[in-house]
Amino acid sequence: MLANHHAHTHFSDGVGEPRDYVRQAIREGFTSYGFSDHAPIAPRDIGSMKLAALTDYSAAIAALQTEFAGQITLFKSLEVDYLPGVMNVSSPHILAAGLDYTVGAVHFVDELPGGQPWSFQRPNPVFKRGIDTIFGGSARAMVERYYALVREMVTQHPPDVVAHLDRVKKRNADGTYWDERADWHVAAVEETLDAVAAAGCILEVNTRGIYLNEITDTYPSRWIVELAHARGIRLQVNSDAHRKDHISGGFAEAYGMLQDIGVEQVHLFDGQEFVPAPLIQPWRGDAAGPPRPSH
């Protein structure tokens, strides 16, 4: 594929050197590639990238930009967790990093009794313990709090790109904890999409669940992408790669879905801003179909 704006390396929770990803991207025909490792969670420094590593991260990407100039355009970003009162895209160490763009996400929903931020991505028993101890056993309360945090993020500290909007469904693939088409859940999603639209953020269509067989759909689900498209929210497809062989994983499925919905363009970063890239019908995952930025 032409572009990927959300990807990880060994600097956070990915596998492999940044150079490995660049070489793979070139082999697959990418013309641009954005690194967005998980940002250090300062001041607690509990993230998968430590604050001390941020300088080396920036230096590594700068070196690759020089080494591969003329072959591929590389961008520096961070996936920035939103934790109220702790971190957001306006935090001093994020602003000082000199990023090309920001990817914002909510991975933690409030705290366990000991003060540890609780991640809904953790498997049981951690997942259920968080629902039981923080939300009194109510998965609905947890999910509604998650979407409230996303709305707070995009309203108060909007990132350029909102990552995997319904990632909270990761441990609910079989519907054990809540019905994703329940009226209350649809209402929470729609309210959140309205906030994303008002903030002018780009919504990522994340393919990680497809190529890892976590789910059979994207993050967010197709019905959410349809609602986003109806609201005029700008979209882009990202793989959230944590291994070099995942950088275009699920792209054919995601682009096929977008075209089936009637999406005519995605928005790609050109070094200055996010510009529309028309989709060429039909998307087949070959040279006839990649979206290309238009000016």
pLDDT digits (tens, 9 = 90+) for 56-69: 999 999 999 999 99
Give, rounded to a whole angstrom, the gap between the first and last alpha carbons of the chain: 19
Q: What does pTM read for this prediction? A: 0.94
Domain boundaries defined on the chain: 3-278
pLDDT digits (tens, 9 = 90+) for 71-83: 999 999 999 999 9
**Cβ–Cβ contacts within 10 Å for residue 291, how many?**
23
In which band, very low, low, confident or very high, does the pLDDT at 188 lie, cut at 50, 70 and 90? Answer: very high
Residue type, 6: H
What's the CATH number for 3-278?
3.20.20.140
Cα-Cα-Cα-Cα dihedral sign, residues 252, 105, 10, 2: positive
